C-alpha cells in the first residue's frame, strides 16, 4: 500500500499531544490526578478524569504495557484518552507507517512516549490486515463516536422505559443458565444493565389489572420496546467486536451473547401473555366468604366488605361461623383461596383488642368494629381501624 503524505502540524498541537500522553502515562504509572488536571486532556474531559481517578490508592509501578482491567477505575480514563489521543495523533504524527513508530519520536522514552506506544497498539486494525494511516483516523474516530452515541441513546431509552419493580414473584430472565461471567462488567454498568433491567419484561402485575384493550396494547408496546433495546444492545456489541482491538473481541462477543439470550427469553415471555384480561388472584372475590364478628354473632359481608343489614347478611353462632368460614366448609373450596378460620381471627382480634384498650382514650374507634378500636375482619388486618363504614 502506498504511504500517503501527512500535512505539517502546528507546534502547539504537538505539545498538546505530548501533554495528553504524559498525563495518561502519569495516571497509569503513578495515579497522579494532579498531572491529568494540568493537561490539555483534562480541560476537555475533567469530569471523566476526576470520576475515574477518585478511587485510585496506589501507583501502577509494575505496569508493563497491558491494558487496564475492564473494571479498573482507570479504564474509563484510558478509553476516553484513546478517543482524544486519536484525534490529536491524526494531526500530530508525521510518520506515515505506524509500524515504524516506536513511540519515542521527540519524546525519547519518557512517560509520553510510553503512552504513545499504548495508544498506537490499541488502534483497531483494518479488516483486511492493512496498516492504518493518519488520514484514516478521522473515519475511525467518527465511526467509534457514532457507535458510542448510539449505545448512550439505547441506555438512556432503557432508563426511561424501566417499569416499576414487580410486586410479586416473576420469572427471572437473568436467571440460572450458562452465560459468560460478566459480574465485574455488570457492577460497572449497574445503573443500566443489572439483572433488574433484564427482568423488567416479566412485569405483568399491571397486565393483570388492564381491562381496557387500548391500555393492554400500550403495555405490550412498552414491553416490546424494552426487549427491542436489549436486542439492539446485543447487535451493537457484535458490531463493536468487529472493529475493536484483539484483546476486546471476546469481551464484546460475550456481552452480545448475554443480551441475546436475555432478549430471547423476554420474547418467549411476551408470546405467553394472554390476549384477554385475566382476573387478578390478589383481589377479593365478588362474594367474600369470610365473616364479620358483631358481639356474640358473626355476619357474612356483602361484596363491598360490610353488611348492609343483618337479614341480608345472615347470622351465625360461633360454631356455625367456624364451619362457614373454613376454606373446606359445606360449600367446598372457594376458588382455591384459603382464608384464616374465624377462631384464629378471633384470637388475633382479642390480642389486638388488649393493645387497643391499653392505648387509652386516644385509641381510634370505628362504627363497624364493636367500639373496640380493632379493624374489621373484612380488611384482613388486626390493627386499629380508621375506616368510616356504615353502621350495621
178-215: per-residue pLDDT in tens?
Answer: 333 434 444 444 334 333 333 443 444 444 445 555 66
Give the lowest-confidence range in 30-34, 245-249, 309-313, 320-324.
30-34
- Residue 249: the pLDDT is 78
Q: Is 36:23 a contact under the CB 8 Å cutoff?
A: yes
The per-residue pLDDT of the chain, averaged, comes to 49
pLDDT band at 121 (very low <50, low <70, confident <90, very high): very low
- Residue 216: the pLDDT is 63
- Residue 51: the pLDDT is 38
pLDDT band at 335 (very low <50, low <70, confident <90, very high): very low
Largest CA distance in the chain: 103
Q: Is 370:359 a contact under the CB 8 Å cutoff?
A: no
Tens of pLDDT, residue by residue over 284-314, are: 333 334 555 566 565 655 545 445 455 545 5
Of 325, 322, 313, 285, nearest in space to 392 by CA: 313
Give the Cα separation of 318 and 52 in Å (integer): 70
Of 148, 189, 197, 199, nearest in space to 169 by CA: 199
- Residue 341: the pLDDT is 43
Instruction: Please compute the mean of the pLDDT values over residues 20-42 and round it to a whole number.
Output: 44
Q: Is 138:90 a contact under the CB 8 Å cutoff?
A: yes
pLDDT band at 230 (very low <50, low <70, confident <90, very high): confident
pLDDT band at 174 (very low <50, low <70, confident <90, very high): very low
Instruction: Please compute the mean of the pLDDT values over residues 319-336 and round it to a whole number.
Output: 46
Q: Which of 152-166, 196-210, 352-366: highest mean pLDDT?
A: 352-366
Give the lowest-confidence range in 32-36, 56-60, 64-68, 240-244.
56-60
User: What distances in angstroms separate CA 246 from CA 174, 250, 251, 253, one per listed residue?
Assistant: 28, 8, 10, 12
Tens of pLDDT, residue by residue over 85-102, are: 444 443 333 333 333 444
Q: Which of 105-119, 132-146, 186-200, 218-232: highest mean pLDDT?
A: 218-232
Q: Is 28:74 a contact under the CB 8 Å cutoff?
A: yes
- Residue 357: the pLDDT is 55
Task: Give the residue, 25 or 271, on which the prediction is more confident.
Answer: 271
Indicate the DSSP class of residue 68.
P
Tens of pLDDT, residue by residue over 249-287, are: 777 777 777 777 777 776 776 676 655 554 443 333 333
Of the chain, the percentage scoring pLDDT greater than 70 comes to 10
- Runs of H (alpha helix) within the chain: 11-30, 33-37, 40-53, 75-92, 111-122, 134-161, 183-188, 190-193, 195-199, 205-209, 213-241, 246-272, 310-313, 318-325, 342-358
Task: Give the residue, 386 or 218, on which the prediction is more confident.
Answer: 218
Q: Give burial (CB, 10 Å; 0-12/13-18/19+) of 199.
A: buried
pLDDT value at 151 more than 50: yes
Torsion sign across C-alpha atoms 307, 312, 317, 323: negative
Give the Cα separation of 287 and 302 in Å (integer): 7
Of 28, 51, 45, nearest in space to 85 by CA: 45
Q: Give burial (CB, 10 Å; 0-12/13-18/19+) of 249.
A: middle
- Residue 4: the pLDDT is 34
- Residue 330: the pLDDT is 43
C-alpha cell read off for 251: 469481551
- Residue 224: the pLDDT is 73
- Residue 255: the pLDDT is 75
- Count of alpha carbons within 13 Å of 298, Cβ hemisphere only? 22
Torsion sign across C-alpha atoms 30, 34, 38, 42: positive
Give the Cα separation of 154 and 18 in Å (integer): 35
- Residue 358: the pLDDT is 59
**151-171 as b/e: b if 16+ CB within 10 A:** beebbeebeebebeebeeebe
Q: Is 186:159 a contact under the CB 8 Å cutoff?
A: no
Give the Cα separation of 260 and 147 in Å (integer): 18
Indicate the DSSP class of residue 362.
G
Amino acid at each position: 500500500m502506498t504511504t500517503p503524505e501527512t500535512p505539517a502540524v502546528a507546534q502547539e498541537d504537538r505539545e498538546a499531544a505530548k501533554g495528553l500522553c504524559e498525563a495518561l502515562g502519569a495516571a497509569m504509572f503513578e495515579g497522579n490526578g494532579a498531572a491529568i488536571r494540568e493537561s490539555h486532556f483534562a480541560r476537555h474531559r475533567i469530569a471523566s478524569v476526576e470520576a475515574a481517578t477518585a478511587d485510585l490508592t496506589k501507583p501502577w509501578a509494575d505496569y508493563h504495557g497491558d491494558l487496564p482491567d475492564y473494571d479498573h477505575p482507570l479504564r474509563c480514563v484510558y478509553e476516553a484518552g484513546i478517543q482524544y489521543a486519536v484525534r490529536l495523533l491524526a494531526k500530530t504524527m508525521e510518520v506515515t507507517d505506524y509500524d515504524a513508530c516506536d513511540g519515542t519520536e521527540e519524546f525519547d522514552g519518557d512517560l509520553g512516549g510510553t503512552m504513545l506506544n499504548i495508544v498506537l497498539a490499541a488502534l483497531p486494525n483494518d479488516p483486511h490486515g492493512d496498516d492504518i494511516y493518519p488520514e484514516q483516523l478521522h473515519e475511525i474516530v467518527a465511526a467509534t463516536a457514532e457507535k458510542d452515541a448510539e449505545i448512550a441513546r439505547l441506555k438512556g431509552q432503557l432508563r426511561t422505559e424501566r417499569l416499576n419493580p414487580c410486586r410479586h414473584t416473576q420469572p427471572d430472565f437473568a436467571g440460572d443458565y450458562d452465560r459468560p461471567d460478566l459480574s465485574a462488567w455488570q457492577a460497572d454498568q449497574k445503573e443500566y444493565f443489572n439483572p433488574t433491567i433484564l427482568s423488567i419484561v416479566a412485569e405483568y402485575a399491571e397486565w393483570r389489572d388492564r381491562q381496557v384493550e387500548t391500555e393492554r396494547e400500550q403495555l405490550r408496546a412498552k414491553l416490546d420496546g424494552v426487549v427491542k433495546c436489549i436486542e439492539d444492545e446485543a447487535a451493537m456489541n457484535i458490531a463493536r467486536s468487529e472493529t475493536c482491538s484483539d484483546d476486546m473481541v471476546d469481551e464484546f462477543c460475550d456481552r452480545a451473547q448475554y443480551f441475546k439470550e436475555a432478549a430471547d427469553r423476554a420474547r418467549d415471555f411476551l408470546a405467553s401473555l394472554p390476549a384477554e384480561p385475566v382476573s387478578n388472584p390478589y383481589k377479593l372475590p365478588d362474594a367474600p366468604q369470610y365473616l364479620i364478628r358483631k358481639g356474640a354473632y358473626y355476619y357474612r359481608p356483602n361484596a363491598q366488605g360490610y353488611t348492609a343489614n343483618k337479614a341480608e347478611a345472615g347470622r351465625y353462632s360461633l360454631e356455625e361461623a367456624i364451619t362457614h368460614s373454613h376454606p373446606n366448609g359445606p360449600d367446598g373450596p372457594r376458588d382455591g383461596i384459603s382464608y384464616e378460620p374465624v377462631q384464629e381471627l378471633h384470637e388475633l382480634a382479642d390480642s389486638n383488642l388488649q393493645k387497643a384498650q391499653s392505648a387509652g382514650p386516644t385509641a381510634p374507634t370505628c362504627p363497624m368494629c364493636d367500639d373496640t378500636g380493632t379493624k374489621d375482619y373484612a380488611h384482613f388486618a388486626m390493627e386499629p381501624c380508621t375506616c368510616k363504614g356504615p353502621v350495621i
